[in-house]
Amino acid sequence: MNQMKNIDIKKLIQWYNQNKRSMPWRDTGNPYDVWLSEIMLQQTRIEAVKPKYIAFKNELPDIASLANCDDDRLMRLWEGLGYYSRARNLKKCAIYLMEHYDGKLPENFELLKKLPGIGPYTAGAIASIAYNLPAPAIDGNVLRVLTRYYGITDDIRLPKVKEMIEDKLNDFYSSTRPDSSYSSFNQGIMELGETVCVPNGAPQCKKCPLNKNCFAYQNEMTDGIPYRSSLKERKIVERTLFVIRDDQSFLIHKRPHKGLLAGLYEFPGVDTHLTKSETINHIESLGFTPLKITTLPDAKHIFTHLEWHMRAYEIKVAEIQHTLDEHYYLVNKKELQSLAIPSAFRKYTDWYSLRD
């Protein structure tokens, strides 16, 4: 690590106070707001989170209401944000908080880290933003800003890089006055990473309050720092979906409670591409008598480590008289539109909001 001057906390906080964006969860003084927003913002753009956050808070305004929320309702509120395990962990943590902390987030960084679904970053964000404690909150934005500032050229994916940044922040916290605004300091670095020291495109270094002592800027190395090694190529999974329906109902499957898209609803399918004739044979093997089969548009959905390449068929039957097993449900068109169906199937749910 290059020996650069430490961050000017006054200059950073002044910049933050003058440039921070308006967010529905910002400066509310409510730890629940910080927690909820930070979980929602993982892997999700701010503009996508804003309306979902407001709707979620209107329905579940506090930890108690979250702890008591029905799972299907919770998944419906989370729809569109993806990574649904985050919502399940929110509820799990809310129940734990009701049982052990009187429905409140503890004002302690180490205790926060031990809560279900709360890792070091989220614990640091809650501790520093909600309680103004000297706790590091290191996400991708903070890593990018500080690796550039300190001239760290190691692969940013390596755990040791995060450890280096954490050590630097802890040294910095220990050297500052106890009345310092750790909340504004941490949020200031995050805001720099979001708006100035950006992840995509050229950083706007001339607008940065830290540019005077930034190693990457002073040495014209912002193109090379941070260094990030390539991820392995995503696994491609070919899927065929079956929209099995009669005049009134659709057959819907609820996915297992563990694994990808756990506990959410989907159209039944198989992990291979089937032709029309193969699909008819498969549907007959399930005990249905197809009257008409229609090819629907193909779709693709990208997860972190895999891609679904989907083809789909609508299979009309005279009447659906059975649901295969307890994981299958019959729903009408209105119910179909109200279920927590993940965005992976958005093309098909949208299709049926427009068609009879």
Q: In this structure, what token pair is assigned to residue 351?
A: 């299709």
CA separation for the pair 349, 263 (Å, rounded): 18
Segments in the chain forming alpha helices (H): 9-19, 31-41, 46-59, 63-67, 71-78, 85-100, 109-113, 120-125, 131, 140-150, 159-175, 182-195, 215-218, 276-285, 333-338, 346-354
Nearest to 253 by CA among 239, 267, 263: 267
Q: For residue 246, report the phi and psi dihedrals to the nearest 5 degrees.
A: -115, -160
Q: In this structure, what token pair is assigned to residue 101?
A: 């902390």
Q: For residue 44, report the phi and psi dihedrals to the nearest 5 degrees.
A: -140, 140
38 flagged as catalytic: yes
Which burial class, exposed, middle or buried, applies to 58 when counting CB atoms under 10 A from its CB (0-12, 13-18, 19+)?
exposed
Query: What is the set of active-site residues?
Result: 38
